[in-house]
A and B are shown apart, each in its own frame.
Chain A
Amino acid sequence: MTESQRLGPLADPAQFTDALNIAGYAADDLKRLLRAMLTIRFAEEAVADLVETGEAVCPCHLGIGQEAIAVGVSSALRRTDRVYGNHRSHSHYLALGGELFAMYAEILGRKTGASQGMGGSMHLYAPEVGFSGSVPIVGATIPIAVGAGLAAKMDGKGDVAVTYFGDGACEEGVVHESLNMAAVYKLPVLFVCENNLYASHLDIGLRQPSDSTARFAKAHSIPYRVIDGNDVTAVIKAAGELVKAAREGGGPGFLEAVTFRWRGHVGPKEDIDVGVRRKPEILAAWRHRDPVRRLRDSMIEADLVTSVDVEKTCADIKCTVAKAVANARKADYPGTNALLDLVYAPRRHQ
């Protein structure tokens, strides 16, 4: 194993804690990015509250601490691209512009939810913004995204497919089948590995001989970038380059974004007691490498916003989130007919 195939400092939470390099960004763009990341942060905290109170029963997997990846990747995408998620996809859905209300209504099992109240947190769907579906079978949307990429290539309009997965999914065989197919057919697919160094309770050191999943891209001759996933500017740059190449017929790209989830595998707790080798001091260090704080501090340092502005934005977002939750509570449950009516497509009139 060579050093180049390991994450090194990228996996060290004591590193990469300074201000981001935001030179060249317009203030409005940065404000938009900050707002998007804060929205995901507060929206997921509200999900955590719903789980704590017992209102939300379906399994909810929170990605608090990982917001920069979805926001950064989405900045490289357009509405006709096709984005696929996994069990931890609130951020992917929201970063593309998925509705807050529909997400809460879905989590609470209501008819007006993102998936008509049929899927809950793990099954989000918002094709109108390009979010084409998320499922909890680990790795399952990866070949589906390859097929979406095949369709995009056949369409010939320069659209791309994106699949978000974690370091754990790289232990599934289908990842390798999918990388191979995308490479051999030169499909416009962006593979985004959110490497949060954990799969459920096990850290990557107990599961793989190297902590860098980009070695799988290398093995399949796919261009890759390995970046700090808690630096939204790094994500934007790397995703932008890989997506541009895919749109122009250069084939797939692989983005390994190193990050850390603050909460447990599922539910609102920090799960220090559940995680093997998941220690309070490591979590504390990663909390300091917070992608939201780093962007906010960088903007304040550059005099683009004041802390009072940011507080105002936070209050505004929290209010919007609370309204969405309240409206979702008032929404109707699906009719019992949905149970059988949604099994097959309605009969077509030919």
Chain B
Amino acid sequence: MSAPVSYAEAILQAFRYLLGNYPEVFAIGQGLWSPWYVGASMKDLDKEFGQARVIDTPISELATTGAAIGASLNGYRPIVIHPRMDFMVLATDQIVNQAAKWRHMLGGKSPAVTIRGIVNRGGEQGAQHSQALHAWYAHVPGLRVVMPATPEDARDLLIAATLCDDPVLYIDDRWLYDLSAEMPPPGPIDLTTQLPKVLRVGTDITLVAASYSVTLARKAAEVLAKKGVSAEVIDLRIVNPLDHGTTCASVKKTGRLLAIDGGWRTCGLAGEIIAGAVESLPPSAFRARPRRITLPDAPAPTSKLLEKVYYPNTERVVAAVEEMLAE
């Protein structure tokens, strides 16, 4: 185990591991030669590995993503970086129509491309600088979508995504960048064998989340423990293909399910988590109606006061759990 490593440093470790050990890996995207675009998570990679393998690009999300897909179909394992997920929407044709479908529709090989979309919320940035669109992309068969919640996963899921033979969307959240943890040295990981993790064992309620929402779940579980409530926390890690087994096994034990998601409510991840459990378990398995905490179905505001109302927080998770226990 190392000294504590932050989530952002863990991403940097993954890049250094990948670029250092795999000559077929390269990184491409906007801001890669600038120290501020992607924060500490890619600092000085261009100096260490050269600007031929750490490529800054014109303001062309669509062509950049397409070019990475093209390179991935020709022997490389590129990682495309979209410093803000909102701008990645401009690349959606290449992600949804091309990367996700080439293997199936051409009966050929998958583009082994990793697309990193960064969620960068809060700070009064507003509707086009704050989105978490994972549910959109998780809807698309052929596109694996990973959302690390911990520093170890920030590193390991990036390694696993890059070494995976399928296109993978890797989504990190800047609200997690200062989270730190000790971790073993990096190594190769097979994404296809990765499952959700139970981060905290409990008996009264199952809290299921991904990415930053896992932090809310863990904090809420701590608060609840002091109130005598034992919450189990599940970190999904991968939202497509979505594994429901870990959640169902937990709900069988706790009888209560609360899904927490930083995306919108309608057709969102939280609804999918609940549907998976409700479809698999008999009604008698539930001691309370499953519930979800999500963003309201509204674009992100800028005003500080509205932001406070907009984003889920620990208090809201605790309150929902208490209501479910009282049911």
Contact = CB atoms under 8 A, between A and B. Distances in A.
B107 A148 contact: no
A123 B105 contact: yes
Contacts of B298: none
Interface in A142-187: 142-152, 154-155, 161, 173-174, 177-178, 180-181, 184-185
B284 interface: no
Interface residues of B, number: 47
A195 B74 CA distance: 28
Contact of B74 (A152, A174, A342): A152
A174 B62 contact: yes
A147 to B, nearest CB: 2
A343 interface: yes
Given A178-B66, A180-B58, A345-B166, A350 B190 contact: yes
B294 interface: no
A25 interface: no
B222 to A, nearest CB: 37
B271 to A, nearest CB: 22
A184 B193 CA distance: 40
A343 B75 contact: no
Given A146-B63, A180-B58, A347-B192, A342 B104 contact: yes
A151 B75 contact: yes
Given A144-B98, A350-B188, A342 B67 contact: no
Contact of B190 (A154, A161, A178, A348): A348
Interface stretch (A41-49, A112-120, A280-288, A293-301): A112-120
B71 interface: yes
Interface stretch (A132-140, A222-230, A307-315): A132-140
A343 B74 contact: no
A118 B106 contact: yes
Contacts of B266: none
B280 interface: no
A125 B103 CA distance: 11
Nearest to B63: A177
A143 B62 contact: yes
B74 A148 contact: yes
Given A119-B106, A119-B107, A135-B98, A348 B70 contact: no
A70 B313 CA distance: 60
Contacts of A119: 105-107
A339 B142 CA distance: 12
B274 interface: no
B62 A173 contact: yes
B103 A343 contact: yes
Contacts of A344: 103, 110, 142, 144, 166, 192, 241
19 contacts: A118-B106, A123-B106, A135-B105, A140-B94, A142-B66, A143-B69, A147-B70, A148-B71, A151-B71, A154-B26, A161-B70, A174-B63, A178-B67, A181-B57, A181-B58, A181-B63, A343-B142, A344-B142, A345-B166
The 9 closest A-B pairs by CB, nearest first: A147-B70, A143-B66, A116-B107, A177-B63, A147-B67, A151-B74, A177-B60, A345-B165, A144-B70
Interface of B: 26, 52, 55, 57-58, 60, 62-76, 78, 93-94, 97-98, 102-110, 112, 141-142, 144, 164-166, 188, 190, 192-193, 241
Given A135-B105, A140-B93, A343-B142, 5 more contacts: A123-B105, A142-B66, A143-B94, A185-B55, A343-B103
